Chain A
């Protein structure tokens, strides 16, 4: 390649990265790009992973805007490197949020909580810790699960296996399959569990089912690793949504949790999360924390300050906490309304099939039950975008667009595609 600048010398040696090939595009991003490039004025994007308002806009929570302005005016605020484990107050408040203030994990000081880069960062640091200090190198995750889940464990050298989870015939939980697969797992294997608002299915076990899962896992010495990205986003009760985690902590056993503030506080871009490792004793937790530092420092030294500062400001102030809960509830309520409206619309059109899963499923996502061909049909003919597994983001809908989606689904199903 000729250099245009006569002053710069032409490179006369091959790049040492000559052999590097282009990485394959990530499917969910490909859907985004396709949507963006579609000129159709009534196109609908149900493939996104973030919350949208009734107007189809992103949402900056008022309480977050407020907190940010407060931080700007705090002239004394020092912006130096955080400790490796992040903001201490943030960690305390996050532990309180997920475990509950009266949790034995907190009362007995037997959990270590470290600030990480959202749920992703928490999962990766947790995986690296397990790879280094845990005796078992296998993790079981639900079939299906969030597309990025395997990626946190594979670089750490942990083998990924699956347990049955979603039953396409019922669009609900394959509970028997789940129990069988976890029952057959090798003793001590790691099990990745989604606390609530399962992504991509929207299918959550009931509390009774969680109790059975807990008993089985404790019997087989399986180590629970909870991904908690939607606390408060499912039932609008932060406590209720965290129950599965709290049940496991209450029995005195150990577990890991990855808490994300991306959706629940709309802080996606600031990468705010917390990894907790609940141990048997305070002494163990302290040693574990010291080892987590050794993993974090060679990755990025210490976590970013901004997002965690916002979270801390909100969680520690009674009034702001209350405002946050209200705004969180508003998001959750709108999703519930969308579910109901969509179900009604499908029902009203007498579309063959049982669509009750639309309202039985919870959280931001639903697996509609549409197959890949039907999804492609929806995109081609109706400019409706979603991932090929038929997953939709309920917040991508509005009262205005629900009938359009229902019509499209009607057409797709009628064509027997």
Chain B
């Protein structure tokens, strides 16, 4: 130690060698860092933006567009922003986020007058939109069930795989989409539920499945719930599209309500990205239904412990917008109206796309376009057909044939139908 100190002293005293000189180390610490692959979904938008064709259509990324193809800021959001601008002292939210926002958010999922809320049985924290909620849950699952794995539907939103992977939770898939029918592989799904070890953790899309648009029927949800009871599985719902699927948030929460009726102690990730258009604000909620208030307090404290080393406490603005809207009867009414407008437009575009294809005399069945629900449609197109539609018609979608219905307008639906028809007619 003394020798080392002496050397350091000696070196430092030769200040001319280092004073102001550029550090002559060999190379970067990061020279072996590989360039990461580009995200497939975002890559589609990049390609779209780079395309000079006036006919180009972007049905790739999942953000809502109005009938002019423009992004939308809801009127209720604008009004809320007007009310709160410049009014906040911007002091830290509690670690668990805005209490008001969380309260209102739980009502949406569990029911306006839910006993579970009154009994304080729900551990809930504000999260960074749906992604943040899923990640918090995945980390929580890892911490308290370190040997568990997560069953994820095939297919699912690609980032689900990344989230549980980074949380170090092994994943398995369960049958979900049936390519032949372009609907639900219900038999396969039920088999996988039965064959999974008792007490397995399952990720379920509450409504408007991403990317397929295929949801179980109410009857099917009841059977799934029953089987979950038999097996003692843990249901974790990702609800990113409440209100956006049918236009009615209560209807879209049906699956969750069925599970609650059956006594499951569920977990839910909720997001306001799409249904309030608050994408960039990153506002959502993670909730876990517990046995009693005491357990809910304990679970919430642990969720906060997981959030603290990620970002200390969540951002205020988006939560303030949500609280302002849902806490005001008129604004809430306006929001419900605007959500219905968005959902109806998409439902209208589904109908229009299907009718256009039928009118063109397509030999294929396009029932699935109107059977599927929510932002996305799994068209059934092959990657080759997708590529043709891009190269020949400047249609941009992900190569799994997923069409974002939000990108379809009365102005482009005819052109889109024609392109799809052309690349699939000889299928």
Q: Which residue of B is nearest A122, CB measured?
A: B311
CB distance from B160 to the nearest CB of A (A): 9
Cβ A280 vs Cβ B27 within 8 A: yes
Q: What is the number of residues of chain A that contact chain B, defined by CB distance less than 8 Å?
A: 102
Question: Contact: A148 with B23, CB < 8 Å?
Answer: no
Q: Which residues of A contact B73 (CB under 8 A)?
A: 77-79
Which chain B residues (230-285) contact chain A, with CB distance < 8 Å?
232, 234, 260-265, 273, 277-282
Q: Identify A79's interface contact among B38, B118, B234, B281, CB under 8 A.
A: B281
Contact A300 B144 (CB under 8 A): no
> With A50-B91, A121-B310 given, is the CB distance from A69 to B86 under 8 Å?
yes
B91 touches A58 (CB 8 A): yes
- CB neighbours (8 Å) of A216 from chain B are 8, 12
Q: A50 to nearest B CB, angstroms?
A: 6
Binary B-proximity of A366-378 (CB < 8 A = 1, otherwise 0): 0000000000000
**B residues 144-182 with Cβ under 8 Å of A?**
144-145, 159, 162-163, 165-167
The answer, among A154, A288, A301, for a CB contact under 8 Å with B159, is: A301
A191 to chain B, nearest CB (A): 13
Q: In the assembly, what is the distance between CA of A59 and CA of B262, in Å?
A: 50
Are A14 and B162 in contact, CB atoms less than 8 angstroms apart? no
Set of chain B residues within 8 Å of A299, measured between Cβ atoms: 128, 131-132, 135, 166, 310
In the complex, A268 Cα to B278 Cα: how many Å? 20
Q: When the two chains form the complex, which single residue of B1, B5, B309 contacts A152, counting CB atoms closer than 8 Å?
A: B309
Pair B92/A268 contact, Cβ less than 8 Å:
yes
Question: Which of A14, A135, A294, A300 has the most chain B CB within a 10 Å cutoff?
Answer: A300
Would you call A80 an interface residue if the criterion is a C-beta within 8 Å of the partner chain's C-beta atoms?
A: yes
- Tell me if B144 and A20 are in contact (CB < 8 A): yes
- Residue in A23, A80, A281, A306 whose beta carbon sits within 8 Å of that of B71 in the complex: A80
Q: Which of A21, A254, A290, A306 has the most CB of B within 10 A?
A: A306
Does A167 interact with chain B (Cβ within 8 Å)?
no
Residue in A closest to B161 when the chains form the complex, CB atoms: A298
Q: Do residues A23 and B309 form an inter-chain contact, with CB atoms below 8 A?
A: no
Q: From known contacts A80-B63, A300-B128, infer whether A148 and B309 are also in contact, taking CB-CB under 8 Å.
A: yes
Nearest residue, chain B, Cβ from A1:
B292
Contact bitstring B374-400, A, C-beta under 8 A = 1, else 0: 000000000000000000000000000
- Assess whether A284 is interfacial by the CB under 8 Å rule: yes
Q: Which residues of B are found within 8 Å of A303, using beta-carbon distances?
A: 282
B62 to A, closest residue via Cβ: A81
Bound-complex Cα distance A223 to B23 (A): 13
For the complex, give the distance between the alpha carbons of A120 and B89 in Å.
Answer: 20
Instruction: Tell me which residues from 1 to 34 in chain A have a Cβ below 8 Å from any Cβ of chain B.
Output: 1, 3-5, 8-23, 26
B316 to chain A, nearest CB (A): 4
Instruction: Specify which of B1, B265, B281 is in contact with A305 (CB 8 Å cutoff).
Output: B281
The chain A residue with its CB closest to the CB of B132 is A300
Per-residue 0/1 for A51-63: is the Cβ within 8 Å of any B Cβ (1 yes, 0 no)? 0000001111000
Interface string of B293-316 (1 = CB under 8 A from A): 001011101101100111111111
Known A-B contacts A80-B280, A304-B318; A254 and B29 likewise in contact (beta carbons under 8 Å): yes
B25 to A81, Cβ gap below 8 A? no
Segment at the A interface, from B14-22, B336-344, B350-358, B418-426: B14-22
Q: How many whole Å from B232's CB to the nearest CB in chain A?
A: 6
**Cβ-based interface call for B39 (8 A):** yes
Give residues of chain A (197-228) contacting chain B, Cβ–Cβ below 8 Å. 211-212, 214-216, 218-219, 221, 223
Can you name 10 A-B pairs with beta carbons within 8 Å?
A: A8-B116, A12-B263, A15-B265, A215-B18, A216-B12, A218-B25, A250-B22, A291-B36, A299-B132, A300-B135
Task: Please name the 4 residue pairs, one residue from A and one from B, whose CB atoms are nearest each other, closest first.
Answer: A305-B280, A300-B128, A269-B316, A117-B311
Given known contacts A120-B310, A270-B316, A305-B282, what 13 new A-B pairs fall within 8 Å (CB)? A1-B291, A1-B292, A17-B295, A59-B89, A60-B90, A81-B280, A269-B91, A269-B93, A279-B30, A284-B33, A288-B33, A301-B129, A305-B280
| A interface residues with partner B (beta carbon < 8 Å) | 1, 3-5, 8-23, 26, 50, 57-60, 64-66, 68-69, 71-72, 77-82, 84, 117-118, 120-121, 124, 133-135, 148, 151-152, 154-155, 179-180, 183-184, 188, 211-212, 214-216, 218-219, 221, 223, 250-254, 266-271, 277, 279-281, 284, 286-288, 290-291, 293-295, 297-307
Interface residues of chain B, those whose CB is within 8 Å of chain A, are 1, 4-5, 8, 11-12, 15, 18-25, 27-36, 38-39, 63, 71, 73, 77, 81-82, 85-86, 88-93, 115-116, 118-119, 128-129, 131-132, 135, 144-145, 159, 162-163, 165-167, 199, 229, 232, 234, 260-265, 273, 277-282, 288, 290-292, 295, 297-299, 301-302, 304-305, 308-318
